Amino acid sequence: MKKLSVVCCLLLIVFTGVLCRKAQPFPEESFDTRLSGGAATVFLSNSKAFGSEIPGLTGYDAFMHELGDLLFNQTFVSAPAPQFGGLGPIYNNVSCVSCHHNDGKGTPTMGLITSSLLTKISIPGTDIHGGALSIPGFGSQFQDKATSTKKAEGKITISYTEEPFSFADGEKASLRRPTYTPNNTYLPLPAGAMLSVRLAPPVFGLGLLELIPESTLLSYADETDANGDGISGRPNYVYNPHSRQREIGRFGLKGNNPNILVQVAGAFHQDMGITNYVFPEESSFGQIQYDPYDGTDIADSTLDAVVFYIRSLAVPARRNVTDPVALRGEQLFNQLNCSGCHIPTAYTGVDVRLPAISNQRIHAYTDLLLHDMGPGLADGRPDYLADGNEWRTPPLWGIGLFAKTNGTPFYLHDGRARTLMEAILWHGGEAERSKTAFTKLSKDDRDALIKFLSSL
- Residues of this chain that interact with other proteins (CB under 8 A) are 44-48, 66, 70, 75, 77-84, 87, 94, 98, 101-102, 111-114, 145, 147-149, 155, 403-404, 406-408
The helix (run of H) or strand (run of E) holding residue 422 is helix 420-426
Alpha-carbon distance of 258 to 40, in angstroms, equals 22
Q: Least distance in Å: CB of 275 to other proteins? A: 17
Classify residue 51 by burial, with Cβ atoms within 10 Å: 0-12, 13-18, 19+: buried
Q: Least distance in Å: CB of 397 to other proteins? A: 18
Decide: 205 and 313 in contact? Cβ < 8 Å: yes
Instruction: Report long-range pairs for 257-260 (Cβ below 8 Å, ≥24 apart).
Output: 259/210, 260/206, 260/207, 260/210, 260/307, 260/310, 260/311
Q: In the complex with other proteins, which residue's Cβ is closer, 64 or 362?
A: 64
Q: Least distance in Å: CB of 45 to other proteins? A: 7
Alpha helices in 214-323 (DSSP H): 214-220, 260-266, 272, 300-311
The residues pairing with 120 across neighbouring beta strands, listed in sequence order, are 141, 196
Q: Least distance in Å: CB of 62 to other proteins? A: 10
Alpha-carbon distance of 119 to 140, in angstroms, equals 9
Alpha helices in 74-119 (DSSP H): 96-99
Q: Least distance in Å: CB of 112 to other proteins? A: 6
Q: In the complex with other proteins, which residue's Cβ is closer, 113 or 226?
A: 113
Residue 132 φ/ψ, nearest 5 degrees: -65, 145
Q: In the complex with other proteins, which residue's Cβ is closer, 313 or 441?
A: 313
Decide: 117 and 143 in contact? Cβ < 8 Å: no
Q: Least distance in Å: CB of 83 to other proteins? A: 5
Q: Least distance in Å: CB of 77 to other proteins? A: 4
Alpha-carbon distance of 225 to 97, in angstroms, equals 40
Alpha-carbon distance of 96 to 263, in angstroms, equals 12
Q: Least distance in Å: CB of 76 to other proteins? A: 9
CA 98 to chain centre: 17
Q: In the complex with other proteins, which residue's Cβ is closer, 7 or 403?
A: 403
Q: Least distance in Å: CB of 455 to other proteins? A: 12
Q: In the complex with other proteins, which residue's Cβ is closer, 136 or 407?
A: 407
Q: In the complex with other proteins, which residue's Cβ is closer, 140 or 147?
A: 147
Q: In the complex with other proteins, which residue's Cβ is closer, 46 or 243?
A: 46
126 φ/ψ sector (left φ>0, alpha ψ -120 to 50, else beta) = beta
CB atoms under 10 Å from CB of 366, counted, come to 22
Q: Least distance in Å: CB of 204 to other proteins? A: 16
Q: In the complex with other proteins, which residue's Cβ is closer, 99 or 260?
A: 99
Q: Least distance in Å: CB of 225 to other proteins? A: 41
Q: Least distance in Å: CB of 236 to other proteins? A: 33
Q: In the complex with other proteins, which residue's Cβ is closer, 124 or 407?
A: 407
Decide: 216 and 352 in contact? Cβ < 8 Å: no
CB atoms under 10 Å from CB of 158, counted, come to 17
Residue 75 φ/ψ, nearest 5 degrees: -80, 135
Q: In the complex with other proteins, which residue's Cβ is closer, 78 or 287?
A: 78
Q: Could you give the 3-state DSSP secondary structure of residue 102?
A: helix
Q: In the complex with other proteins, which residue's Cβ is closer, 83 or 224?
A: 83
Q: In the complex with other proteins, which residue's Cβ is closer, 81 or 218?
A: 81
Tell me the torsion sign for CA atoms 207, 210, 211, 212.
positive
CA-wise closest residue to 339 among 417, 191, 452, 240: 452
Alpha-carbon distance of 355 to 50, in angstroms, equals 19
> DSSP string of 335-346?
HTTGGGTS---E
